[in-house]
């Protein structure tokens, strides 16, 4: 009988210890959980991009992309968010501190133009070669009016844009 009481006492102490240690855990679980917490450990960059993008789209907030620690993840998340939403506004979150970042912002805008088939967005692109590619994509890939070729600044690219498709010759 003494043994039973001893085991009962140990069991009681165990329950008390369990209840004491579960209080902080309960308090911690009441704190808001970051939707991007698992993204940092989600493996290769494409997985991280997908993780941040899914969290941003679920919340309807491109700012979530800016929580990525890797620039490639941030840039791709912002660009894909913009393309999927059809809005070039998120591209403005890519800061222009140098030509590389300007290229990334322009590529983001060009991506939205292609995703939405809206050639007017190509006019927002600052770098000539990206803007030329944007207009050419609209004409060649999406059969936009060939008049857009006239907005291409480089003559060699404009000439290619104005060529009739190979199957039409």
Q: What is the DSSP letter of 123?
A: G
pLDDT (tens, 9 = 90+) of the chain, 169 residues, equals 444 443 333 333 333 333 333 333 333 333 355 778 888 777 899 999 999 999 999 999 999 999 998 999 999 999 999 999 999 999 999 999 999 999 999 999 999 999 999 999 999 999 999 999 999 999 999 988 999 999 999 999 999 999 877 665 5
List the beta strands (DSSP E) in the chain: none
SS (HEC) of 21-39:
HHHHHHHHHCCCCCCCHHH
Are 65 and 81 within 8 A, CB to CB? Answer: yes
Question: Could you tell me what percentage of the chain is helix, strand and coil, using 3-state DSSP and rounding each to the nearest 5?
Answer: 75, 0, 25
For position 28, what pLDDT does the model report?
34
pTM: 0.76
Positive or negative, the CA dihedral 139, 130, 128, 94 is: positive
For position 50, what pLDDT does the model report?
95
For position 36, what pLDDT does the model report?
82
């Amino acid at each position: 009988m003494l043994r039973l009481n001893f085991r009962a006492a140990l069991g009681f102490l165990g329950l008390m210890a369990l209840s004491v240690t579960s209080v902080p855990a309960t308090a911690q679980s009441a704190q808001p959980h970051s939707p991007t917490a698992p993204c940092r450990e989600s493996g290769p960059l494409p997985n991280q991009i997908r993780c941040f993008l899914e969290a941003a789209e679920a919340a309807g907030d491109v700012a979530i992309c800016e929580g990525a620690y890797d620039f490639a993840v941030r840039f791709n998340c912002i660009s894909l968010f913009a393309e999927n939403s059809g809005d070039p506004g998120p591209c403005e979150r890519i800061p222009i501190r140098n030509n590389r970042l300007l290229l990334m912002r322009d590529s983001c805008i060009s991506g939205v133009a292609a995703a939405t088939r809206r050639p007017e967005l190509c006019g927002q692109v600052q770098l000539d070669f990206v803007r030329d590619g944007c207009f050419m994509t609209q004409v060649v890939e999406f059969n936009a009016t060939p008049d857009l070729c006239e907005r291409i600044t480089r003559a060699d690219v404009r000439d290619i844009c104005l060529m009739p498709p190979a199957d039409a010759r």
